[in-house]
Amino acid sequence: MNNLLASDMRRMVRSKSFIWLCIVAPAVLILSDVIMYLAARLIDIEVLIESSDLVGMFESRYAALVTALFVSCFLGHETVTGCLRNKIVCGNSRLYCFLSSCCCALPASILVHISAYLMSFVCGVIFGQGFTFDDTFFKYLGLRVASTLVLSVLFVAITYLFAGNNGAYVAGGALTSGMIIWGLDILSKLYPDDGIVKITGTKLVIYQFVDKFVPFSYPGTPVLRSPEVYVMGLAGTLVVALLMGGLILTRKDLK
Amino acid sequence: MESVLKVKGLVKRYPGFTALNGLCMNVPKGSIYGFVGKNGAGKTTLIRVVTGLQTATEGDYEIFGTSSESKDILKARRRMGAIVETPALFGGLTAKDNMKQQYLNLGLPSYDGIDEILELVGLKDTGRKKVKNFSLGMRQRLGIAVALCGKPDFLILDEPINGLDPQGIIEMRELILKLNKENGVTILISSHLLDELSRLATHYGFIDGGKIIKEMSAEELEKTTRKSTRLKVNDTQALVIALERLGVEHTIIDDNTADIFCKMDFSDLAIECAKDNCKIISAEEHDEELEGFFMSLIGGEKGE
C-alpha cells in the first residue's frame, strides 16, 4: 500500500484542491470573521467581541465542510476521470486504494484545523478584545479534530461509492451541508431556550440519536457529553465508513 | 501455443442484460490479437473484467497462467498494461508527471525509463504543457505510455484509434507494431475499424452476443476468405447481365458499385459490358476480407 500512498500524497500536494485547502479556505474564514466584526461595529459601535468568540466561531463546521469538499474534489476527480483504473489495472487491490485515499484525507483534515485555528487566532488578535479561554474550549478541541478525522474517512467512502459518476464530486459536500442545516434544527429542538423539549415519539428518538452518535453534530453541541458517547459515535461512524469503503467498493463494478 | 490470456466460460450479467455469455478465448503469447465485434457485443465488458474493474458472474480466466480465482492474480496484473475506453489521465499534470504517478502506482523504485517511453510514443518534447491542453491523439499516445510503465508483457488497448486523424492512425499503427516486434509485447486490440485491424493483427477473435463465435490466425483468415475486385460502373443492372453471361460470382454494393470474386481478364469483361452499354469507371482490388468474413459470421449466427 506504500506505493499507493506515495502516489496519492504526490498528487495531493500538486492538486488544485489542495491549494484551495491551504490558501483559499483560510482566506474565506478570515473574510467571515471580518464580516462578523464589521456587522458588530455597524449594529453597536460599543460592542466588545471576545477573541475566543472569534476563535472557534466557525472552524468546526467549516472544517467538516472544507474537508468534505476537498475529498470530493480530490478523489472525485480520480474516480470520474477514470484514473482510479490505472491503479487497479496494474495490480493494486481496491481495498488498498481505499485505505490509501483515507490516509490522504486524514492529514488534509488536520491541515484544515491547523489553518483554521491559526487564522482564527490572527483574527482574534486583530478584531477581538483579548483572550479569555475556558476549559470547554480546549476540551472541545480534541473532539472537533477527532470528529473531522472520522468524517474524512466517511467522505472518502461516500466518494468511492459514487465512483464513475459526477455524484462523487458533490455527495460529501451535500451530506455535510444537509447535516449542518439539520443539526441547527436538532439543537433548537433538543436544547430549547425555555428548557422544555416539545418533540416526541420517533422524531425525538431520531434527533437524540443523531445528536448523540453522529459526529456532524459534535462541534455544535453545547453540552459536553460523557466521553463514552463520543467514543461510541466516532467508532460507529468509522466502522460504517470502513464497511462502506472496504466491502461495497471492493464489489462495485467500475467503468 | 503458450497463452497470455485464457478465458473460460466467462459470464457477466447486469440487471436485465447479459453482456458476456460463456465467453472462451485464448490470446497467444507474442501475438497482436484483434478483438472484433460490433458495438454492445461485449468487448469492453470482457476487458473490464480481465483488468479487474468488474467481477465476472460466472467462469474464470488466466493471465500468464494465473487463475482469476487465485490471490496471485494481482501479481499477474502487474505484468499487464491497459487502456480501457479512454486514456485515464490527470489533466492538470504534465505528461511526465502522469508517468510518475503511474510509476508510483506500480511501486517502481525510480523514475528511470520515463523519457524512453515518452520518446517511444513521440511525446518527449511536451515539456510543461498540461495534459488538458493535449490533442486527442497526444492523449491516446500518453495513455499508451502510461500503460507501458513497468514494461508490461501484455497490453490491452480498447479502441486505441478511435477519434485519431489519419496521421495519428498511422503513428499508432507503427507504435503497436514496434512494441510487438521489437519489445515482444503481446497486444490485445479491441476495435470495430476492421480495415485498420487487418493491417496489424496476427490473430483474431470475433465476438457477438457476449461470446466468441470464431478464433483464428491471420493466415487462417486469408485462406478462408476470398479477394474481391471492386468495380465502379455507370449502371450495375447492365453489369449484372454481363457478369451472368461470363458466369462470374458478384455482389452488388449500390447503383454504381459491385464486387466480383474471381481473377479474370478485364479486357474480356470490358467487351462484355460494352455490349450492354455498361461503362467501367474504375476497378481496384478491394481488401475487405476481414469485414466480409465478420459479416458472414454475424449473419450465420443470426440465421441459426
C-alpha cell at A3: 506505493
Interface contact B149, partner A, CB < 8 A: yes
DSSP letters spanning B44-55: HHHHHHHTTSS-
Contact A14 B97 (CB under 8 A): yes
Burial of A66 (0-12, 13-18, 19+ CB in 10 A): buried
Closest residue in B to A100 (Cα) is B105
Give the per-residue pLDDT at B304: 34
Mean of pLDDT over chain B:
85
Contact A89 B104 (CB under 8 A): no
Closest residue in B to A97 (Cα) is B105
Comparing A181 with B300, which gets the higher pLDDT?
Answer: A181
* Residues A92 and A177 sit within 8 Å (Cβ to Cβ): no
Closest residue in B to A7 (Cα) is B104
Q: Which of B81, B88, B105 is nearest residue A92 as measured by Cβ atoms?
A: B105
Q: In what order do the strands lie in the sheet with B66-67?
A: B17-28, B3-14, B58-63, B66-67
Q: Which of B29-33, B39-43, B201-205, B286-290 has the lowest mean pLDDT?
A: B286-290
Structural domains in chain B, sorted by start: 3-217 (3.40.50.300), 228-286 (3.30.70.100)
Give the per-residue pLDDT at B16: 87
Chain B residues close to A7, C-beta within 8 Å: 101, 104-105
Q: In what order do the strands lie in the sheet with B203-208?
A: B80-83, B154-158, B186-191, B32-36, B203-208, B211-217
Please give, rounded to a whole number of angstroms, the shortest distance from the CA of B303 to a CA of chain A: 33
Domain coverage including residue A176: 2-251
* Residues B189 and B34 sit within 8 Å (Cβ to Cβ): yes
Interface contact B212, partner A, CB < 8 A: no
Q: How far is A23 from A16, CA to CA, in rounded Å?
A: 10
Interface contact B90, partner A, CB < 8 A: yes
HEC letters along B226-280: CCEEEEEECCHHHHHHHHHHHCCCEEEEECCEEEECCCCCHHHHHHHHHHCCCCE
pLDDT band, very low/low/confident/very high, at B99 (cuts 50, 70, 90): very high
Interface contact B91, partner A, CB < 8 A: yes
Contact A89 B77 (CB under 8 A): yes
How many separate domains does chain A show? 1
Mean pLDDT of B79-107: 89
Which of B104, B156, B158 is best to mutate for the A interface (most A CBs within 10 A)? B104
How does pLDDT run along chain A (255 residues), one tens digit per residue? 788 888 888 888 888 878 877 777 777 777 777 777 777 777 765 555 555 555 555 556 677 788 888 888 888 888 888 888 888 888 888 888 888 888 888 888 888 777 777 777 777 777 766 665 666 666 777 777 888 888 888 888 888 888 777 877 888 888 888 888 888 888 888 888 777 888 888 989 998 888 888 888 776 555 567 778 888 888 999 999 888 888 777 777 777
Burial per residue of B180-210, b for 16 or more beta-carbon CB atoms within 10 angstroms, e otherwise = beeeebbbbbbbbebebbbebbbbbbbbbbb
Chain A residues close to B89, C-beta within 8 Å: 81, 83
ipTM of model over 0.90: no
Give the per-residue pLDDT at A40: 73
| Residue B288 reports pLDDT greater than 60 | no
Interface contact A92, partner B, CB < 8 A: yes
